[in-house]
Amino acid sequence: MKSRSLILVFFVSMSIVTLVVLVNFQNSTSSPNAEGARGAYFTQVEYPATVYEGENSIWNLTIFNKNCATNGEGNASFFFKFYLDGDLWWNEYNSTDYETWQCGRGNLVTRIYQISTWDATKPVNHELKIELCWYDGNASQLQDVVSLPVPVAIRTELGNLMISSYIGVYLIAIFLLGFYVLIEGPIKISFTPQNNTVAFHQQSTTTIVSSLFKACKQLSLFFYLFVFASWQIVNVLFYAFSFPEQLRPFVYLIAQTAYIVLSILLMRKDSPNFGGYGYSWPEEPRKYIAISLLLAVLYSFVTIIIPGVFTGYDVFPSVSFTEVFLAILLALVAGVTSETIFRGYIQSRLTKLGGFPPALLTTSIMFALYELTLLPFNLFHIFYEILTFLAVGIFLGIFFYRTKTLLCPIIFYFTISIFKSLVPVRAISSEYAELFFNFVALLLSLLLLSTLTVKDERTSRTSSYSFS
């Protein structure tokens, strides 16, 4: 596919997702039911992204009293009404525990509520509507309304029917993919190592460092620093400032699309042939796709299902069509972006200059730093993310080096991202256990990849490999 066609595809995708996200954002924002200018309104509502059956959840409701006053005085009395799935759930004014509360004109007030009556025998999505009412001493007047989706999750054990069905789907997918790979026969992957890769074993440490420093002086390092800095700035801004949750995926997509376009322009500047950067279509793509899916499903099974065998699982409600669409698009763009930048562009350039092993390690470290979440700052969590993504980056680098096409690492990255975001099952485990099972999954994937990769005897004079 030509670069112009590729750029066109991404901009069309961005246009589609812009419309979807903006329509969804307009439908989910709060809108006052009171006629005319509002005397008071919600400024912020903080609540858990997911609440659990039978457990307490903390809600912070902040309002601003613009010009409401009782009997000409500065203070005014307010109360909330809560509606759950269209039915009146709790009228605060009629509650003997709360009745009304005060807020001075021109002031902000934050009310903290602990809600513990979520009941569900299965994961469910509730719609919670909160009305802000002003009591002027004679009657109540509606000031503002906010509607919020409330997913209620349940905790369950391994013997639960839902967990058993998910395990069955994983195992069937692994079996069918493995069976398909076996009956299709070997995939011929023949390539001749580059001279500098062969000579790597005779290079001194000084020469290797010099080669990598030379690569860093070129566009690879500057491009990476731009991508890393801008991506972390976006995440920091999202954390520091209130930003509509519905618009965040749109910003991520725009940023990553810009990275892809920039990397394509840089690759085209170096060489009009994108094949050297991994943009090549294999002769038998179904086999490459099958092995990539097999490894991704195996990795997801080990990291999502296995950790909860002894500790149990959280099961979340199903997501909407819009959320599925955004998750798929985000995973696709993120996969193409990261693999184009790190495996296609940076690793390929560093391999040519310093050999594969140092290029693999350098690129994997860059990838891990790019993927980590800096805020909220937690030293152990940062350490956990760096180790996890470092291992994933090493596997993706080896996968790309063996197959010589970005198709395989992109499919792997895309598939594990989809499983992580859309499968409504999470193991109840510590980060130590998650880190351990991530390493186990990647080790199994590497062993399986090395088992399915054999030397092609017909081209024994070159370093040729095939999947069997």
What are the tens digits of pLDDT across the range 212-227? 555 555 556 788 888 9
pLDDT at 199: 42
Q: Where are the chain's structural domains?
A: 3-22+157-467, 31-151
pLDDT band at 31 (very low <50, low <70, confident <90, very high): very low
Mean pLDDT along residues 264-268: 84
What pLDDT, on the 0 to 100 scale, is given for residue 356?
Answer: 87
The per-residue pLDDT for range 156-212, each reduced to its tens digit, is: 999 888 899 999 999 999 999 999 988 876 666 665 444 344 344 444 455 555 655
Q: CA–CA separation, 256 vs 249, rounded Å?
A: 11
Residue 209: predicted pLDDT:
56
- pLDDT above 70 (res 332): yes
The long-range contacts involving 180-187, CB below 8 angstroms and separated by at least 24 positions, are: 180/290, 181/287, 181/290, 181/291, 181/294, 181/452, 181/467, 182/468, 184/286, 184/287, 184/290, 185/468, 186/454, 186/456, 186/466, 186/467, 186/468, 187/282, 187/284, 187/287, 187/288, 187/291, 187/466, 187/467
User: What percentage of the chain has pLDDT greater than the value 90?
Assistant: 37
| pTM of model > 0.75 | yes
441 neighbors 298 (Cβ within 8 angstroms): yes
Q: Once rounded to an integer, what is the mean pLDDT over residues 276-297?
A: 90
Q: Is the Cβ–Cβ distance between 305 and 164 less than 8 Å?
A: no
Q: Give yes or no for a contact between 447 and 331, defined as CB atoms under 8 angstroms apart.
A: no
pLDDT above 70: residue 1: no
What integer pLDDT is reported at residue 392 of this predicted model? 95
Taking 70 as the threshold, does the pLDDT of residue 11 lie above it?
A: no
Amino acid symbol at 339: E
- Contact call for residues 326 and 422 (beta carbons, < 8 A): no
pLDDT computed for residue 294 by the predictor: 95
Given the structure tokens 């994108």, which residue do they identify? 274
**What is the CB-side half-sphere exposure of residue 143 using CA atoms within 13 A?**
26
Name which residue leads in pLDDT, 444 or 217. Answer: 444
Instruction: Inform me whether the pLDDT recorded for 340 exceeds 60.
Output: yes
Higher-pLDDT residue of 390 and 349 is: 390
What is the structure's pLDDT at 14? 55
| Rounded Cα distance, 111 and 314, in Å | 29
- Whether 343 has a pLDDT exceeding 70, the answer reads yes
**Residue 323 φ/ψ, nearest 5 degrees:** -65, -40
Class of the CATH domain delimited by 31-151: mainly beta
Give, in order, the Cα–Cα distances in Å from 84 to each of 81, 95, 144, 149, 158. 10, 17, 17, 10, 31
pLDDT of residue 303: 95
Say which residue the tokens 């080896």 belong to. 398
Q: Pick 143 or 214 by higher pLDDT.
A: 143
According to the model, what pLDDT value does residue 69 have?
Answer: 83
Average pLDDT, the chain: 81
pLDDT at 137: 76
What pLDDT was estimated at residue 347?
92
